[in-house]
């Protein structure tokens, strides 16, 4: 290696701008490359590969969630750029990188295509390796979700959760609707749109498991002399057939009769009792199904009711990604 090559501050700064590496790392790379800019980049990449190999088994459970929507709001993407520590995950340069990656992710259709996409003359996968060397922590794309619809919106919660929601049409105040529902998705963690999406075997196994948990809790509550929890017969609207609802109504009428309530006022009382029966026996839907969840901005209403207040529009789908 020549000892006469002088590295200027401008050359170091140019390499820093191109790679994000620290000043001393850039200077060392330029010295090793004898001032050749492209070779210096290769030096830094090789350093990144070595660091990446050493940290391959590390858990990239921190990071940043970002989302991007295309210009006509018909497609969105949400990704998580993972790292090892919350300190790095909050760094401005790291967040800038996550947003750059989000812009690229919007142009492709899959995670594999995303990792193979161009990022300033290298692939996204190579950029992650390079930045692993720069930052000193394992970087990884831990989540990648895309959504297409006639109208797509998003909500991001402090760079930790990103949600996408698709609408069947762009109605008046669609921006408000889609943001509110995306906020619901981010906050409440629904996994499906409707109870109609559930597999019968899944509902059966969940019913058994949930009843077992409540019965176990009741043993302890009984021992302590406390009020026991209600043990539901069902947990999803998928189980509430017309026959089941008819029997529940008959049981409610029998209860009103036993209480001595006059028949002429039953019609005013029965709707409330049936609502309570359905609420008590659809806990799975309320937890997992977006449309059946209580709306976070008005718990007297569910999401489906809120959506219907905007007119002829439906939720066509949603995606959610989160750090960790």
Residues 174 and 146 in one domain: yes
Return the sign of the alpha-carbon dihedral for residues 271, 277, 281, 286. positive
pLDDT of residue 51: 62
Confirm whether 4 is domain-assigned: no
Q: Is residue 219 within a helix (H) or strand (E), and if so which, with residue range?
A: helix 200-223
The 10s digit of each residue's pLDDT in 6-17 is: 888 888 888 777
Confirm whether 256 is domain-assigned: yes
Segments forming the whole domain that contains residue 81: 62-187
Banded pLDDT at 52 (limits 50, 70, 90)? low
Closest C-alpha to 52, from 144, 127, 143: 127
44 vs 26: CA distance, rounded Å: 8
The 10s digit of each residue's pLDDT in 266-294 is: 999 999 999 999 989 999 999 999 999 99
pLDDT of residue 2: 44
- Is residue 5 a contact partner of residue 35, using CB atoms and an 8 Å limit? yes
CATH code for the domain of 78: 3.30.479.20
Confirm whether 324 is domain-assigned: no
Whether 179 has a pLDDT exceeding 50, the answer reads yes
Whether 79 has a pLDDT exceeding 90, the answer reads yes
DSSP 138-203: --EEEEEEEEE-SEEEEEEETTTEEEEEEESS--TTHHHHHHHHHHHHHHH---BS-GGGS-HHHH
Q: How many helices (H) and strands (E) does the chain have?
A: 13, 10
Determine the 3-state secondary structure of 323 from DSSP: coil
Residues 142 and 233 in one domain: no
Last residue of a domain, one of 187, 221, 249: 187
Structure letter (DSSP) for residue 289: B
Residues 242 and 211 in one domain: yes
Last residue of a domain, one of 154, 187, 220: 187
Whether 242 has a pLDDT exceeding 60, the answer reads yes
Average pLDDT, the chain: 90
Confirm whether 323 is domain-assigned: no
167 vs 151: CA distance, rounded Å: 5
> How many structural domains is the chain composed of?
3
Which pTM was predicted?
A: 0.77
Q: SS3 for 26-89, per residue?
A: HHHHHHHCCCCHHHHHHHHHHHHHHHHHHCCCCCCCEEEEEEEECCCCCEEEEEEEEECCHHHH
CATH code for the domain of 43: 1.10.8.10
- Is residue 240 a contact partner of residue 278, using CB atoms and an 8 Å limit? yes
Q: CA torsion 88→163→189→293, rounded to 10°?
A: 150
Banded pLDDT at 1 (limits 50, 70, 90)? very low
Banded pLDDT at 106 (limits 50, 70, 90)? very high
Residues 71 and 163 in one domain: yes
Whether 221 has a pLDDT exceeding 60, the answer reads yes
Higher pLDDT, 49 or 290: 290
- Is residue 12 a contact partner of residue 30, using CB atoms and an 8 Å limit? yes
pLDDT of residue 49: 63
Residues 182 and 204 in one domain: no
Residues 29 and 139 in one domain: no
pLDDT of residue 306: 96
Whether 296 has a pLDDT exceeding 50, the answer reads yes
């Amino acid at each position: 290696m020549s000892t006469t090559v002088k590295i200027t501050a401008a050359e170091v700064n140019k390499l820093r701008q191109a790679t994000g590496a620290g000043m001393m790392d850039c200077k060392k790379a330029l010295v090793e490359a004898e001032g050749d800019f492209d070779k210096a980049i290769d030096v830094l990449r090789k350093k990144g590969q070595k660091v990446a190999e050493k940290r391959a088994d590390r858990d990239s459970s921190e990071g940043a969630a970002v989302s991007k929507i295309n210009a006509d709001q018909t497609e969105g993407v949400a990704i998580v750029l993972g790292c090892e520590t919350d300190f790095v995950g909050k760094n401005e340069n790291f967040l800038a990188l996550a947003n750059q990656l989000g812009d690229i992710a919007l142009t492709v259709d899959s995670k594999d295509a995303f990792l193979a996409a161009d990022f300033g003359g290298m692939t996204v996968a190579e950029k992650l390796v390079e930045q692993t060397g720069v930052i000193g922590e394992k970087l990884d794309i831990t989540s990648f979700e895309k959504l297409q619809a006639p109208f797509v919106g998003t909500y991001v919660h402090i760079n930790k959760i990103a949600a996408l929601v698709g609408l069947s049409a762009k109605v008046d105040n669609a921006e408000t609707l889609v943001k509110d529902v995306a906020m619901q998705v981010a906050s409440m963690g629904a996994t499906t749109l409707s109870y109609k999406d559930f597999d019968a075997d899944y509902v059966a196994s969940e019913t058994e498991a949930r009843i077992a948990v409540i019965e176990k809790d009741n043993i302890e509550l009984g021992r302590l002399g406390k009020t026991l929890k209600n043990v539901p017969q069902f947990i999803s609207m998928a189980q509430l057939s017309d026959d089941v609802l008819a029997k529940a109504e008959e049981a409610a009428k029998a209860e009103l009769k036993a209480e001595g309530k006059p028949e002429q006022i039953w019609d005013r009382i029965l709707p409330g009792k049936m609502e309570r029966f359905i609420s008590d026996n659809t806990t799975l839907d309320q937890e997992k199904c977006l449309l059946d969840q209580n709306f976070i901005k008005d718990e007297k209403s569910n999401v489906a009711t809120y959506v219907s207040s905007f007119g002829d529009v439906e939720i066509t789908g949603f995606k959610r990604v989160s750090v960790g």
